[in-house]
Each structure stands twice: as structure tokens, then as C-alpha cells.
């Protein structure tokens, strides 16, 4: 299990970083999204991979790690998902504004001169 997820995170990171270093803004935005999946999964995985652990308490009861999933990484990731949505949206709009203003979708706002 751990191995699969670790490999998955690795592939997502690699693809994300590759795209992050590309010259077109759309590539970068896709790269950032992939990278944020990888990071979210990584943070999530710090709580340990638990199949079948209860995420919700019994009413009136006290939870324990033995039976329940670790809520802290989950809370962190929930925040991270929303924030990465916000950054993606912001970056998209900046990208569009820059594309309108400069006429190109190169990350530097101009085609590379050779």
C-alpha cells in the first residue's frame, strides 16, 4: 500500500516539476495542480495509511487512534485543497491578463529571442 502511494506521489511530483519548468503558462498551471495533488497526498499520508478506520466519532464517545483515523492531516489537507483551488484560480486570471496584455502565453511575457 505505502509503496503504491509513494510511487504515485513520486510520479505526480515528477510530472508537476517537469511542467513547472516549461515555458507556457498553461503547462505551468497544470504542473502546479499536479504538484498540489502530490503535496496534499503527502501531507495526508503523514497520518499513516489506514483502511477502514472510522473517520467519525460515536455520539457522546471519545475517539482513539487505534480505531479512528488521524484527523489532523485531514484538516490540514482540507484547508490545502481549498487554498490550492484559490491559487489556481488566481494564477489562471493572471495568466489570462498577461496573455491579453503581452499577446503571448510565454511565462516571461515575451517569446524568447534568439
Partner 1 sequence: MPDALLLLTLVGLPFLGAIAAGLLPTHARNAAAWLAGVIALVGLGLLLAAYPTVAAGGVLRHEVAWMPSLGLNFSLRMDGFAWLFAGMVSGVGVLVIVYARYYMSADDPVPRFFAFLLAFMGSMTGVVIAGNLIQLAFFWELTSLFSFLLIGYWHHLAAARDGARMALTITATGGLCLFAGVLVLGHIVGSYDLDAVLASGETIRAHSLYLPALVLILLGALTKSAQFPFHFWLPHAMAAPTPVSAYLHSATLVKAGVFLMARLWPVMAGTEAWFWIVGTAGIVTLLIGAYIAIFQHDLKGLLAYSTISHLGLITLLLGLNSSLAMVAAIFHIINHATFKASLFMAAGIIDHETGTRDIRRLSGLNRFMPFTARLAMVAAAAMAGVPLLNGFLSKEMFFAEALSAEGPLPLLLDILPVAATVASAFSVAYSLRFIHGTFFGPDPVDLPLTPHEPPTWMRFPVEILVLTCIIVGLLPAATVGPFLDMAAHAALGAATPDYSLAVWHGFNLPLLMSVIALIAGVSLYLLLQRHLIKGVEGAPLIGGLQGQRMFERSMVFLSWRLARTLEGLFGTRRLQPQLRLVVSVAVVAAGWTVYLRGLGPGNLAPAGIDPVLALIWVIGAACALGAATQAKYHRLVALILLGGTGLVTCVTFVWFSAPDLALTQLLVEVVTTILLLLGLRWLPKRLDVPGARPPEVITATRRLRDLGIAITAGVGMAGLAFGVMTRFPPEILAEHFLERAYTEGGGTNVVNVILVDFRGFDTLGEIAVLGAVALTAYALLRRFRPAPDSVDIPEQQRDQSAYDISRPGRREGDTVADWLLIPSVIARLLFPVICLVAVYLLLRGHDLPGGGFAAGLTASIAMILQYMLGGTQWVEARLRVLPLRWMGLGLLLATGTGLAAWAFGYPFLTSYFTYVELPLIGSFPMASALAFDIGVFALVVGATMLMLIALARQSVRGHRAAAPRPSEEPPAPTTAPAATAMGDD
Least distance (Å) between residue 37 CB and partner 1: 5
| Torsion angle in degrees (nearest 10) through CA of 23, 24, 29, 32 | -20
Contact between 83 and partner 1 per CB under 8 A: yes
In whole angstroms, give the CA distance from residue 17 to residue 21: 6
The residues in 3-22 that bind partner 1, with binding defined as CB under 8 A, are 3-22
Least distance (Å) between residue 85 CB and partner 1: 5
Q: How many residues bind partner 1 (CB under 8 A)?
A: 96
Nearest to 88 by CA among 42, 41, 45, 28: 28
The residues in 24-63 that bind partner 1, with binding defined as CB under 8 A, are 24-27, 29-31, 33-34, 37-38, 40-42, 44-63
Least distance (Å) between residue 20 CB and partner 1: 6
SS3 string of 67-93?
A: CECCHHHHHHHHHHHHHHHHHHHHHHH
Amino acid at each position: 500500500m505505502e509503496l503504491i502511494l509513494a510511487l504515485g506521489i513520486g510520479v505526480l511530483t515528477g510530472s508537476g516539476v517537469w511542467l513547472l519548468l516549461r515555458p507556457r503558462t498553461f503547462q505551468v498551471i497544470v504542473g502546479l495542480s499536479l504538484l498540489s495533488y502530490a503535496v496534499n497526498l503527502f501531507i495526508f499520508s503523514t497520518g499513516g495509511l489506514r483502511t477502514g478506520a472510522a473517520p467519525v466519532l460515536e455520539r457522546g464517545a471519545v475517539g482513539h487512534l487505534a480505531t479512528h483515523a488521524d484527523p489532523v492531516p485531514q484538516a490540514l489537507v482540507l484547508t490545502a485543497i481549498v487554498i490550492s483551488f484559490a491559487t489556481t484560480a488566481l494564477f489562471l486570471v493572471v495568466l489570462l491578463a498577461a496573455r491579453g496584455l503581452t499577446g503571448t502565453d510565454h511565462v516571461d511575457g515575451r517569446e524568447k529571442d534568439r
